[in-house]
Structure 1
Amino acid sequence: MFYETAANAHGLRHDPFKAIVAPRPIGWIGTKGNDGSFNLSPYSFFNVVSDNPKIVMFSSSGRKHSLRNAEETGVFTASLVSRDLVEKTNLSSRAVDYGVDEFQLAGLTSKMGHVVQAPFVAEAHAALECRVTQILQPVGLDGEAADSWMVFGQVIAIHIDDSIIRDGRLDMGLARPIGRMGYMDYCDGGSDVFELQRP
């Protein structure tokens, strides 16, 4: 199979693009609005983009509540989605009105960041506290802006549950992070963990 994306005539029932770029880590983004409301939403367009300084990014398709709050307050958190929390993560993905607390909706405990004024998932095995450094709207080859906004944040504090630390490092077999595979498919990153030394 070969096709050019301008026509997107792949002949399949569903667009395969997001399934090819997989697995994608899920950033469970926690924010607080200027009105004091809490928001929690999972983003599979999420990743680390720099190690020094430590910078992560999530991308909002459309102007969602997480984007609004991050713009207004300049901070957000990213909690690790693990296998034991995946059902609650799914519950927090519901489209609800602004101001509805997805922590409560999903039966999760919100905990305010130590350094930033944004909540994270207390039950998560790890969480990042971030300050917004940039918000970019990508453009296509035609120069037209996409209906997406990339929110970059520098990680200024990190929470790690001691239960997933073994021999001086995080044990991903214990943490069991979840990845998005495309369509409605997900993977358990802890089910087949192996080491591979670089040449």
Structure 2
Amino acid sequence: MSDLLANDLITPDAGEAPLLAQADVSILKAVPVTRLSYRGREGSLKAAGKAFGVALPVQPLSNSTAPKRAALWMGPDEWTLLAPEEELNAVFEAIEKGLGDTPHALVDVSHRSLAVIVSGAKAEWLLNTGIFIDLSLEAFPVGTVTRTIFHKAPVMLWRTGPDTFVVESWVSFMDYVSGLLVQVGQELAAA
């Protein structure tokens, strides 16, 4: 399912030059998307997923995708919901209407974060210079999503393909995160 997402929602921003383009690793800015933070109890999940267009995952470190939709598990009662940028109002209103009086929290955090796509044969290696988790395909399979730290910056890491990752960071940290990734990538090329 994650490959579907990589092809229709988290895509390179065609208006931006690659941050790094090498034979074995690339870093591309992703197009802006709608990001909603959803918090709710178990009784609200089915209705929220139906209104959003994809079931909310209940397994830690997992995601659910459908065309132009992704729901990422962030914690026992927290999800990040992704949709095309232009669908913000429609998605927000559909979830609010679908839940009615059911207690929940739905917050638009679209402008809080940016994402880059790190891909290539050396993507794991590049990310492991600042993320100290085993990113091998066996330990961190396609579809796995987690919050973690890249050097000193909080990030969300999502493996969307065998050699492709989405790295999301708050806007205020993205220059730091992407700058370090590019710097290490350039050192790799010089080695």
What TM-score, normalized to structure 1? 0.26
Structure richer in helix, relative to its length: 2
What TM-score, normalized to structure 2? 0.27
Structure number with larger C-alpha Rg: 1
Structure richer in strand, relative to its length: 1
